[in-house]
Structure 1
Amino acid sequence: MALKNAFYAQSGGVTAVINASACGVIETARRHSDRIGKLYAGRNGIIGALTEDLIDTSLESDQAIAALRHTPSGAFGSCRYKLKGLEENRAEYERLIAVFEAHNIGYFFYNGGGDSQDTALKVSQLGERMGYPITCIGIPKTVDNDLPITDCCPGFGSVAKYVAVSTMEAGLDVRSMAETSTKVFVLEVMGRHAGWIAAAAGLAAESEDQPPHVILLPEVPFRKQPFLDAVRRSVERFGYCVIVVSEGIREEDGRFLSDSGSTDAFGHVQLGGVGPIIASMCKRELGYKYHCAVADYLQRAARHVASKTDVDQAYAVGAAAVEMALDGRNAVMPTIVRKRDEPYQWEIGCADLAEVANRERGLPPEYIREDGFGITDACRRYLQPLIQGEDYPPYRNGLPYYVRLKNASVPRRLGDTFTLR
Structure 2
Amino acid sequence: MNAPKNAFYAQSGGVTSVINASAAGVIETARLHPEKIGKVFAGKNGILGALNEELIDTSLISAADIAALRHTPAGAFGSCRYKLKGLKENQAEYERLIAVFEAHNIGYFFYNGGGDSQDTANKVSQLSLEMGHPITCIGIPKTVDNDLPFTDSCPGFGSVAKYVAVSTFEASLDVASMAASSTKVFILEVMGRHTGWIAAAGALAQPHAQGAPHIILFPEVAFNQAEFLQKVQNTVKQKGYCVIVVSEGVAHPDGRFLAESGLRDAFGHAQLGGVAPYLAGLIKSELNLKNHWAVADYLQRAARHIASQNDVDQAYALGKSAVELAISGKNAVMPIVVRDSHSPYRWHIEDVALSKVANVEKKVPKEFISEDGYGITQACREYLEPLIAGEAYPPYKNGLPEYIQLSLQTIPKKLKETVI
> Structures share a fold, TM > 0.5?
yes
Contact residue 57 and residue 407 of structure 1 kept, 8 A = no
Partner Cα separation in structure 2 for residue 307 and residue 274 of structure 1: 27
Counterpart-to-counterpart distance in 1, 2:302 and 2:210? 30
- Once the two structures are TM-superposed, the CA of residue 34 in structure 1 deviates from its matched residue by 2.1
Contact 2:73-2:302 within 8 A present in 1 as well: yes
Quote the residue 1:262 is aligned against. 263
Partner of 2:17: 16
Maintained 8 Å contact 1:113/1:140:
yes
The separation in 1 between residues aligned to 2:3 and 2:35, in whole angstroms, is 11
Q: 1:209: how far off?
A: 4.3
When the two structures are superposed, what TM-score results if normalisation uses the length of structure 2?
A: 0.99
Quote the residue 2:287 is aligned against: 286
Cα distance in 1 between the residues matched to 2:400 and 2:262: 40
Report the equivalent of 1:417. 417
Partners of 1:206 and 1:108 in 2: how far apart?
A: 45
Question: 1:373 aligns to what SS in structure 2?
Answer: coil
Q: Is the Cα–Cα contact under 8 Å of residues 367 and 377 in structure 2 kept in the other structure?
A: yes
The count of residues paired between Structure 1 and Structure 2 equals 419
Q: How do 1:183-222 residues align onto structure 2 when only pairs under 5 Å count?
A: 183-206=184-207, 209-222=210-223
The answer to whether the Cα contact below 8 Å between 2:47 and 2:80 also exists between their aligned partners in 1 is: yes
Where 1:154 maps in the other structure, the secondary structure is coil
SS in 1 for 2:207: coil
Aligned mates of 2:59, 2:3 — CA distance in 1: 16
Q: How does 1:228-267 map to 2 (within 5 A)?
A: 228-267=229-268
Gaps of 5+ in 2: none
| Residues in 1 aligned to 2:81 and 2:364: alpha-carbon distance in whole angstroms | 25
Does the residue aligned with 2:286 lie in a helix, a strand or coil? helix
Letter in 2 for 1:72: P
Identity %: 68
Give the letter aligned to residue 312 of structure 1.
Answer: D
CA shift digits 1:81-100 (9 cap, x unpaired): 11112221121112111100
Query: Using the alignment, how far apart are the partners of 1:201 and 1:284 within structure 2?
Result: 26
Matched residue type, 1:418: T
Instruction: Name the CA distance, whole Å, in 2 between partners of 1:72 and 1:166.
Output: 19
Corresponding position of 2:43: 42
Q: 1-side partners of 2:419 and 2:55: how far apart?
A: 16
Secondary structure of the equivalent of 1:261? Answer: strand
- Deviation digits for residues 13-39 of structure 1, max 9, x if unmatched? 000000000000000001111221110
C-alpha distance in 2 between matches for 1:102 and 1:64: 28
**Aligned-partner residue type, residue 229 of structure 2:** L
SS at match of 2:305: helix
CA contact (8 A) 2:310 2:390 kept: yes
4+ residue runs of structure 1 moved beyond 6 angstroms?
none
Aligned mates of 2:201, 2:332 — CA distance in 1: 31
Could you report, residue by residue, the CA deviation over 1:214-239 in whole angstroms, capped at 9, with x for unpaired residues?
00000000010110111111101110
Which residue of the partner structure matches residue 130 of structure 2? 129
* Alpha carbons 1:137, 1:333 under 8 Å: kept: yes
Q: Which residue of 1 aligns with 2:102?
A: 101
Which amino acid letter does the alignment assign opposite residue 142 of structure 2? K
Q: Could you tell me which residue of structure 1 aligns to residue 151 of structure 2?
A: 150
Structure 1 Cα separation of the partners of residues 419 and 251 of structure 2: 37
Partner Cα separation in structure 1 for residue 280 and residue 20 of structure 2 = 35
Superposed counterparts of 1:307-326, under 5 Å: 307-326=308-327
Q: Is the 8 A contact 2:172 2:209 kept in 1?
A: no
Partner of 1:355: 356
Aligned residue identity for 2:85:
K
Q: Hey, what does 1:373 align to over in structure 2? A: 374
